[in-house]
Structure 1
Amino acid sequence: MHDGTPSSPAPPPADVTERLGYRLKRAAAALRTAMDRALRQYGLTVPQYACLELLDQQPGLSNAELARGTFVTRQSMNVVLRGLQDAGLITRPATTDHGRALPAHLTPEGHHRLAAARSAVYAIDERMTNSVPEQRLPQLLTDLDHMTAALDE
């Protein structure tokens, strides 16, 4: 429990691979590798898949909103959207009546490709989730949320 008094940081473990940040990065890299491998057969990258998922849940999102939701820069999202548009998976108007945001929407082919890829990605998520004892999962998710909040301050 933290009582508000400053404390000196704990000495670092002798082995950097024992640090929490290292372990989180290793888990994230393993997840990314598994998703890259699975999505390749659907002709999608992880950012493209994430973009399709967001547009399925919230049609009409802008480039900036999609960038925030997929953890890429706006410039990178421009490339992602162009690729999805060229593949016929999304549509965006050439111009808009208000502001500069061009709302994106899934095409029927985008819905079809997302549905096919989703099962592969969800299977990966299930494998990862099943590796954590069921009774510990809620606390792990809460802990991850707390870590995120601590770094967002």
Structure 2
Amino acid sequence: MDAPGTASTGPLDRLKVINWAQMQAGQEWIRSRGLSVQQAFVLDYLADHPGAIQRDIAEATRTTPANVSGVLRGLEARGLVERRFEDGDVRSKRVFATDAGIDLISGHEEAMRAVDESILAPLTVQERATLQALLDKITAVLPGLGES
């Protein structure tokens, strides 16, 4: 897939190219670990929310519990998550990322910071500050996006 907006010259077209580069790098990092984007998201969610129930995972991933169940089965088969009964109640299972699952996704944030740094490399410190100020000004007026 070609980068979107490569023939356009508007500032928002350039932001699309930057976003595309970030997404491609993130997806490549995830693929290099043998995961789908959804599997990586679920592992990351479980690392931050150990013992979550499937309904919570479905809400966080904005998908159906049935889809989450399939993702969890695949992760469980690889030893990356485990489901445990809560207080002996067979109807209530909590899901935990295993150490192997957490290890597999560790380093993602650092990898993405390195990608961001490579994207911003052509800019001076002052240019980065100016870019940040301009982007802050734009996002401050966007509904639901201004709070960061």
Q: 1:128 deviation in Å?
A: 5.7
Q: 2:27 aligns with which of 11, 36, 47?
A: 36
Q: Are residues 68 and 147 of structure 1, via their aligned partners in 2, closer, same or farther at CA, if it must alter by over 3 Å?
A: farther
Q: Please provide the CA RMSD for this pair.
A: 3.8
> Where does 1:81-120 land on structure 2 (aligned, <5 Å)?
81-93=72-84, 97=89, 102-120=93-111
Match of 2:63 in 1: 73
Which one-letter code corresponds to 2:75 in the other structure? L
Gapped regions of structure 1 (runs ≥ 5): 1-15
Match of 2:132 in 1: 137
SS of equivalent to 1:83: helix
- Length-normalised TM-score, structure 1: 0.60
Q: 1:58 deviation in Å?
A: 1.3
Deviating more after overlay: 24-33 vs 60-69: 24-33
CA distance in 2, matches of 1:128, 1:64: 37
The structure where strand makes up a greater share of residues is 2
Whether the 8 Å contact between 1:39 and 1:120 is mirrored in structure 2 is no
Q: How many residues get paired?
A: 133
Q: 1:123 deviation in Å?
A: 2.9
Match of 2:43 in 1: 52
Q: 1:17 deviation in Å?
A: 9.4
- Percent identity between matched residues is 27
Gapped regions of structure 2 (runs ≥ 5): 1-7
Whether the 8 Å contact between 2:85 and 2:94 is mirrored in structure 1 is no
